[in-house]
Amino acid sequence: MFTPSFVAPQDTEAVTELLRAQLEELPGRSPLYADLFAEHGVTAATFATLDDLGKFPFTTKQMLRDSQAATQPLGRHAGVDMTEVIRVHASTGTTGRPSWAGVTRRDAEAWTDMVARAFRTMGATREDVVLHGAGLTLFVGGLPIRDALERIGATMVPIGTGASDKAVLALETLGVTALHSTPSYARYLAEHLRERGRDPKEFGLRKIFVGGEPGGGEPAFRRLVEQEWGAPVTEGLGNADMAPVLFGEAPGTDGMRFTGGRHVVVELIDPDTEEPVVPEPGASGELVYTSVDRECCPLVRFRTRDRVLVTGLGPDGAPLIRCVGRSDDMLIVLGVNVFPSAIRDLVQTLYPRTTGAVHVVLPSKGPRVEPPLRVEAEWGREAGDRDQLGREIEELIRARLSVRAVVDLVPPGTIERSEMKSSLTRLAP
């Protein structure tokens, strides 16, 4: 049975009514869902309560790609004519060809509502001057974040990516109080400053908001970023096809809470059996999203491939989560599931003997990899005996992740840095 634990009790009735109306209209607006619902023998009449959502079929990323390949510009699932669309975004393409996501004026307003709620949860206020170090083009973490910060009343400095020297100038002159970026860029900018003889803490940041990739919730990675900047990190989680930010972490808590309000219904499922998972502390699974009031590109039971761990419950009983990786990135080594982000976090625990930068080197495209797992890791400024360091990393991986690895230590700066999302794997030449 579907357990709608992410929906606030006071919102259950309103969300149910909104979703029922969406399901009634959807087949007439979306040829993809007209066919999909008919194929699985479901109609709007199938849905009476949120528990009934589990009777509906899943939507996958490949379905959206096929939909757009068949019918341009936005696909058979679009829901509205292009004349109703005021802006188009795209996925980042980390799992294949990017797909377009259109938003109507009402959709954009809902996005702003959700993202502003997330950033307020993460600690943003109208007194903040936020240096925005993320893309401002098709990336959903760009313009929608601007809209949300303006809704809050914060001052946004839209540096974007590829302009770290301008970011430094903003830090020097604008009284910046907060940084918003991917976790990779928060570390990258700190290294950029160190290379120029500057201490990141001298700029007095008080808040760091991160999202867009795993990392913000990795304990060792987070400690490094917080130590470098002297500011606490809070993270958000979203999805390019559904909404830019749907979960936000309140300062001082141990996870992100759902901040999508009445716009999205969230499920947690076992990614292998596709059965529901009760989001109680210690549970893990894949997030599945259903849009409640989306006009363009409405999605029903969309499999995000985001794997999360329920870390606890908030004061109101709402689940708190951490993203541990994406199913698309997961490697399988003799039946053991291994996320490259987990390897990075283990290596990061040895900072400053390591820099924390890693690559998992694959002989061929995963997910199945024959042991031993080959890992490249940069030694740090206090590496000491490098042979001993390499053995320690191998033992850490074996002890914590239950896989055998061979570690190649490389000089600092060898592994490419990114101002956006960092790739943690590469194919062997």
The pLDDT of residue 322 is above 60: yes
Provide mean pLDDT across the span 36-54: 95
The pLDDT of residue 369 is above 90: no
Q: Each residue of 52-84: pLDDT tens digit?
A: 999 999 999 999 999 998 998 999 999 999 999
d(CA 355, CA 348): 7
pLDDT band, residue 5 (cuts 50/70/90): low
SS3 label, residue 108: helix
213: nearest Cα among 177, 185, 188 = 185
The pLDDT value recorded for residue 94 is: 45
Domain ranges of the chain: 1-326, 331-427
Contacts of 12 by beta carbon, 8 Å cutoff, 6+ apart:
4, 50
Record the pTM.
0.86
d(CA 33, CA 26): 7
The pLDDT of residue 96 is above 80: no
The pLDDT of residue 419 is above 70: no
Domain with residues 331-427, CATH architecture = 2-Layer Sandwich (3.30)
The pLDDT of residue 197 is above 60: yes
The pLDDT value recorded for residue 157 is: 97
Provide mean pLDDT across the span 143-170: 94
Name the residue with tokens 């009983």: 317
The pLDDT value recorded for residue 92 is: 58
Mean pLDDT for the chain overall:
91
Q: Each residue of 370-400: pLDDT tens digit?
A: 889 999 999 998 989 999 999 999 999 998 8
The pLDDT value recorded for residue 328 is: 74
Homologous superfamily (CATH) of 1-326 is ANL, N-terminal domain (3.40.50.12780)
Q: What six digits make up the tokens of 132?
A: 């925005």
